[in-house]
Amino acid sequence: MADPAVLVAQERVALLRQAEKEDAQERAYESFTEDQVRDVIGEANFFQAKRVVESHLASLSGDERARVEEELRHSPEKTVARWSEIVGLKDLPKDPKLIDAELVQIQKRMREDRKGYFADDRMQIRFRALVRAKDATKAK
């Protein structure tokens, strides 16, 4: 018959190994999700976008925040879509005239409220996305 202390120790080791395995799986999933977000948001925008998303989540009520965080934890597609929505990339105009009009508005703010523009991560991300969209329409 095995010593009860040994059995308890073996059970603890098994639980720790299981927790480590689950931790590794979660880290791999988070890394995969982060790569998906980087592909859509762009490497240059990632850390700014992360600040925008964290700020947005902090502004939600406790229940809403928990629901959104749970949703983001289990679906890379939903994570990418939600990040795009939060940082303002979901509704980018396709029409070159609309792109130009929005760029003019942002450039006006850059001139008239430089400090405000540089404090607005979301607007900076959107500006870069609009410039890329404008370049893409010129390339066609």
Per-residue pLDDT, 59: 94
Residues contacting 118, CB < 8 A, separation 6+ = 124
Side-chain half-sphere CA neighbours of 122 within 13 A? 14
Q: In the prediction, which pLDDT does 56 show?
A: 92
Domain range for residue 69? 1-91
Answer yes or no: is pLDDT of 1 > 70: no
| 115 and 87 co-located in one domain | no
Is the pLDDT assigned to residue 99 strictly greater than 90? yes
C-alpha closest to that of 134 among 105, 97, 106, 109: 97
Write out the DSSP string of 17-41: HHHHHHHHHHHHHHHHHHHHHHHHH
Q: What is the mean pLDDT of residues 110-139?
A: 93
pTM of the prediction? 0.72
Do residues 125 and 138 share a domain? Answer: yes
Mean pLDDT taken over the chain: 88
Residue 14 pLDDT > 80, yes or no?
yes
Query: How high is the pLDDT of residue 31?
Result: 80
Cα–Cα–Cα angle for 37, 40, 44, nearest 5°?
A: 85
- 58 and 31 within one domain: yes
Q: 86 and 105 in one domain?
A: no
- For residues 50-76, average pLDDT: 88
Distance (Å, whole) CA 71 – CA 75: 7
Based on the fold, state whether residues 103 and 66 are members of the same structural domain.
Answer: no
pLDDT band, residue 128 (cuts 50/70/90) = very high
Residue pointed to by tokens 């010593």: 3
Is pLDDT above 80 for 28?
no
Domain identity same for 2 and 35:
yes
Question: What is the rounded distance in angstroms from the CA atom of residue 54 to the CA atom of residue 57?
Answer: 5
